[in-house]
């Protein structure tokens, strides 16, 4: 299997605010030497000449942004320029709340007439303005204030619904079973952006908790959910960090602090300036210091996720299961520019307690080769792990606190690797979204009777909803009739071969669970998906058979390691 960088790339923006602080630094606070000043004057002169002398008028703002972007292209792959507009949106995402009406929505597409696209409420956020006013999942928003909502893009809808806390917005909705449209006047409020996507009891003693990113509120969410799981009888935890691309480092450190006893190193940073060189340690008695823990990771787990996985692995505190992580170990600070745009620049590298640099190797200014080599090594680590570990030189082999071998060179290599399914039919149906698109389409066509039957019965749905022969036949027709002509690369062609009725029938049991989960998501919201998908989740199923190893690691916390905890514990 080869992996396309365009489809796989984790953009630097996804790891926004790694250091967990908004520095608010400006150019005026940076001291520069004479040579640097001379180059700055040269750049200024060129900029002014272009603006005054070029044959046609130029947009100064665009020219400046392109110049900044070009300079950053000569640095590491993760230093980026963020426009003022994008900076505001991203900060909201990581601050943990924004002013809005409290709904999750999607655009219901009409492929034959894009002007007929409508806004469908997928779920309402508890105790938010919409829930208090009476909006319901399944409602279709047809007007926002005095303007139609039909045919708008997701960004346009978001822009109209968001606003300052305390301001009002009028929405008109169409509801199944109600002839006349319903009008609501909603007062915008602080809407939490939850980062714990799901938590539930897998069995009577095993808790599951998924963290999608690390925002300002992630630690508080984590503690709240862990306490709730303990109240339900949890004695061991699966912490799911798959596809978590990072966020606030401070939140990741606090979560590790809840699981690692004593005063031990979580992560340390090394940079060019003294203020960027620090060591972060555990401080408190945690809520999960004795329970066995398994951490799920994959190739999309990056940055702050790798801090958690690396620290828990180095201290022999948790068993890491899944695929090798992305390998983003660069500390970035935000430097504010006069127009509120941001220069998000790498100022240091971070290392796990044993001394491993998590960042994969790169050459400044060579992003294409960086991602090509990264994806090649990810593929090798996933599908040929023995070959991958044998290729790692002694200089990148490290020891955990109790003497286990761990590896540097980029990312966190799990203790137990789960290879993704490479069956062509499953890869095509799941990877290209055939099952997801069918579930959405089927639900829209059957929404009213399905809601009437299953409303307030979420707990029963996973086991009681039946994928009938009629539903299965419709899915097979959808999957086999969907345009499977490849749009890029021969691997896409390979992935679509075998999508036949017979091939799908071979995997019917798996695909039925997948369909049931996606329909549950449409009906009850995103969290319902995880409660169903657990039946076929390959990494989770593998983890549930590895508790003996995880319990062994947990028992080691009772005895001191053979050597004192210190950075660079290299073999």
State the catalytic residue, choosing from 303, 341, 377, 495. Answer: 303
Enumerate the H helices of 188-303 as residue ranges: 218-231, 249-257
DSSP strand E in 339-476: where?
342-351, 397-399, 405-407, 416-417
What is the spatial distance between Cα 222 and Cα 539, in angstroms, rounded to a whole number?
21
Per residue in 425-447, is it b (16+ CB within 10 Å) or e — as a string? bbbbbbebebbbebbbebbeeeb
- From the candidates 76, 139, 189, 314, give the one annotated as an active-site residue: 314
20: left (phi over 0), alpha (psi -120 to 50) or beta: left
> Residue length, the chain?
571
Question: What 3-state class would DSSP assign to 358?
Answer: coil
Q: Quote the CA–CA distance of 357 and 377 in Å, as a whole number.
A: 16
DSSP state for residue 14 in the 8-state scheme: G
Return the H-helix or E-strand segment holding 63. Answer: helix 60-72
The C-alpha atoms of residue 320 and residue 546 are separated, in whole angstroms, by: 10
In the set 240, 305, 316, 328, the catalytic residue is: 328
- What gap in Å lies between CA 180 and CA 200, rounded to an integer? 40
Catalytic, 290? Answer: no
Does residue 303 have an active-site annotation? yes
Dist CA 24 CA 334 (whole Å): 7
Known active-site residue 314: yes
8-state DSSP, 202: S
Residues 6+ apart with CB under 8 A from 22: 91, 334
Helix count (H) and strand count (E) of the chain? Answer: 21, 21
Give the residue numbers marked as catalytic: 303, 314, 328
């Amino acid at each position: 299997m080869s992996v396309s960088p365009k489809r796989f790339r984790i953009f630097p923006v996804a790891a926004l605010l790694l250091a967990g602080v908004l520095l608010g630094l400006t150019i005026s606070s940076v001291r520069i030497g004479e040579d640097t000043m001379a180059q700055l004057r040269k750049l200024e002169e060129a900029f002014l000449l272009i603006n005054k002398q070029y044959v046609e008028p130029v947009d100064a703002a665009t020219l400046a942004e392109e110049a900044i972007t070009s300079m950053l292209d000569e640095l590491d792959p993760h230093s980026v320029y963020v426009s003022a507009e994008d900076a505001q949106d991203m900060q909201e995402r990581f601050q943990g709340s924004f002013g809005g009406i409290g709904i999750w929505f999607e655009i219901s597409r009409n492929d034959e007439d894009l002007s007929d696209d409508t806004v469908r409420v997928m779920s309402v956020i508890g105790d938010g303005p919409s829930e208090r006013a009476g909006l319901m999942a399944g409602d279709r928003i047809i007007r926002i204030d005095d303007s139609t909502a039909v045919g708008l893009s997701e960004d346009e809808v978001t822009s109209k619904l968001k606003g300052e806390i305390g301001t009002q917005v009028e929405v008109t909705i169409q509801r199944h079973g109600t002839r006349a449209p319903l009008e609501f006047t909603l007062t915008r409020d602080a809407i939490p952006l939850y980062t714990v996507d799901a938590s539930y009891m897998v069995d009577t003693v095993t808790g599951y908790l998924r963290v999608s990113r690390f925002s300002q509120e992630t630690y508080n969410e984590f503690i709240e959910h862990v306490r709730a799981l303990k109240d339900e009888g949890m004695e061991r935890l699966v912490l799911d960090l798959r596809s978590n691309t990072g966020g606030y480092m401070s939140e990741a450190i606090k979560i590790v602090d809840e699981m690692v006893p004593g005063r031990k190193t979580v992560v340390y940073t090394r940079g060019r300036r003294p203020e960027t060189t620090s060591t972060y340690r555990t401080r408190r008695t945690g809520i999960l210091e004795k329970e066995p823990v398994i951490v799920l990771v994959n190739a999309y787990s990056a940055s702050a996720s790798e801090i958690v996985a690396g620290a828990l692995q180095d201290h022999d505190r948790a068993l890491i299961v899944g695929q090798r992580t992305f390998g983003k170990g660069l500390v970035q600070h935000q430097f504010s520019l006069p127009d509120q745009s941001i220069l998000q620049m790498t100022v240091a590298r971070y290392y796990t307690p044993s001394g491993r640099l998590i960042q994969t190797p790169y050459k400044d200014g060579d992003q294409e080769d960086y991602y090509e080599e990264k994806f090649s090594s990810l593929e090798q680590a996933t599908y040929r792990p023995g070959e991958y570990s044998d290729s790692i030189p002694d200089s990148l082999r490290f020891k955990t606190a109790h003497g286990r071998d761990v590896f540097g060179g980029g990312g966190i290599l799990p203790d137990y690797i789960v290879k993704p399914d490479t069956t062509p039919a499953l890869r095509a149906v799941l990877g290209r979204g055939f099952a997801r698109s069918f579930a959405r389409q089927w639900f829209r066509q059957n929404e009213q009777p399905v809601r009437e039957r299953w409303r307030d019965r979420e707990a029963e749905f996973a086991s009681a909803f039946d994928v009938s022969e009629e539903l299965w036949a419709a899915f097979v027709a959808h999957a086999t009739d969907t345009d499977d002509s490849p749009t890029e690369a021969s691997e896409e062609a390979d992935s679509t071969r075998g999508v036949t009725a017979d091939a799908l029938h071979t995997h019917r049991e798996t695909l039925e669970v997948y369909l049931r989960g996606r329909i549950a998501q449409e009906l009850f919201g995103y969290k319902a998906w995880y409660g169903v998908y657990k039946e076929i989740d390959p990494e989770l199923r593998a983890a549930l058979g590895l508790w003996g190893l995880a319990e062994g690691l947990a028992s080691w916390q009772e005895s001191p390691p053979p050597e004192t905890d210190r950075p660079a514990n290299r073999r």
